[in-house]
Structure 1
């Protein structure tokens, strides 16, 4: 039989047969006078065995020893495959859990799953620009903080979403979003006072985390992003707020 017939009988493609030849799991047969390769039933059986091994997840480069083994000595390889599958199943289970949490919170799938449920609540009532700022900042913060410090940030977001702070978060976010060319220094000062009154204790809790949260090395990245997205009054508010918080921690 020629390659097309073998591929059809075995349920593979001709390209797959060529690949089997290239990696050495299927010997390349002699060609007939017309230039076509001549396969026989033994080749068909070998291709079927290759398919069976591949269905178990055995890579092609590991197959020759098994295909040519008359002792059925595959215990070690099967143990390795079983361990790999167990790891993959565990990973898939974690992925399904994350997907379920994101769906339950109606959050965007590109957000850090630990923070997504809280961001969905914060976005309510925000302008599209500020909602984007919150979302992008969370993505940056989660990545730059790393896995070790992400639990501290998650606790911070969770604390901000508690009912006792939810109204203050919404009010301050709304006032921050209104800042613009017509805003006065008094508007900015009152907003900073509100943040200090409502959130100083929460910020101090985050600062006192063990190990301490330190993203100072990435401050320039956040500053660049804020410059691109926020207006002058909003940027000045954040700068003044940062100075006030630093002074508060120093005393």
Structure 2
């Protein structure tokens, strides 16, 4: 039979046949006087064995030994079974993440446990600031979660949602800040934010201090997206909260 006939019978492409020849999995048959490869049923059987084994997940590099040694095949099946079990666990975890995203309404690119920190629509947040807040949470979830995702989830699971909802008016005031905002309003807003966040600050006080790179990257993101006065106010709020949690030195303005 010709290569096209063999490929059709085995359910593969002619290109796949040529690849198997190149890597030595399938011996090249003699050619006819017209220069065509001529295959027989033995080639078909070997090709069917190859496609069956690759369907089980056996890599091409391991096939030469497996095709000719039943004992090697048995050992490899044990490893494939372990890999399949691990893949099932990963897929189950992925399905659990999808279910959590659906139930929380959190965007798919944001860890569900961080969705509690998103501002609601009643906060009156401009679209660009909503996008900035989202980017903050994505960055925070990655930088903290890659080291202690379980710890982060445990810390945030006890966050008082009603307390966060009560902060929505402060969020609107923050995003209304501009170069003409009176100094007394700036000072009042800082004080109200620190007071409002005190319960959450106390809850997080027992957590290990974040890696300096986390704070640095978040500050860089804030500086890029916020107005100068908003960036200064946010820095001041974080400094006061930090000072209240860990008094390591004099307060900076």
TM range (shorter): 0.7 to 0.9
**Pairwise CA distance, 1:28:** 1.1
Distance 2:45 2:175 in 1: 70
CA distance in 2, matches of 1:27, 1:113: 53
What is the CA distance between 1:113 and its match in structure 2? Answer: 3.6
CA distance in 2, matches of 1:226, 1:38: 68
Compared CA separation, residues 247 and 50, structure 1 to 2 (3 A)? closer
Q: Equivalents in 2 of 1:21, 1:113: separation in Å?
A: 49
Whether 1:228 and 2:227 are equivalent positions in the alignment is: no
Match for residue 185 of structure 2? 187
Kindly state the Cα deviation for residue 87 of structure 1 after the two structures are TM-superposed.
0.3
Q: Is 1:241 the counterpart of 2:240 in the alignment?
A: no
List alignment gaps of at least 5 residues for structure 1: none
TM-fit CA distance, 1:166: 3.0
CA contact (8 A) 1:176 1:234 kept: yes
Distance in 2 (CA, whole Å) between partners of 1:82 and 1:247 is 53
Distance in 1 of aligned mates of 2:200 and 2:95: 32
Structure-1 residue corresponding to 2:251: none
Give the Å deviation of 1:44.
0.8
Instruction: Map 1:14-33 to 2 at 5 A.
Output: 14-33=14-33
Change (3 A) 1:152 1:73: closer
Label 1:51 to 1:45 Cα distance change in 2 as closer, same or farther (>3 A): same
Q: TM-score, normalised by structure 1?
A: 0.88
SS in 2 for 1:27: coil
- Equivalent positions of 1:76-87 (< 5 A) are 76-87=75-86
CA-based RMSD of the aligned residues comes to 2.2
Cα distance between partner residues in 2 of 1:57 and 1:2: 28
Which residue number in structure 1 is paired with residue 211 of structure 2? 215
Uncovered stretches (5+) of structure 2, i.e. residues with no partner: 249-253
TM-score, structure 2 normalization? 0.87
Contact 1:156 1:202 in 2 (8 A): no
Q: Does 1:92 align with 2:91?
A: yes
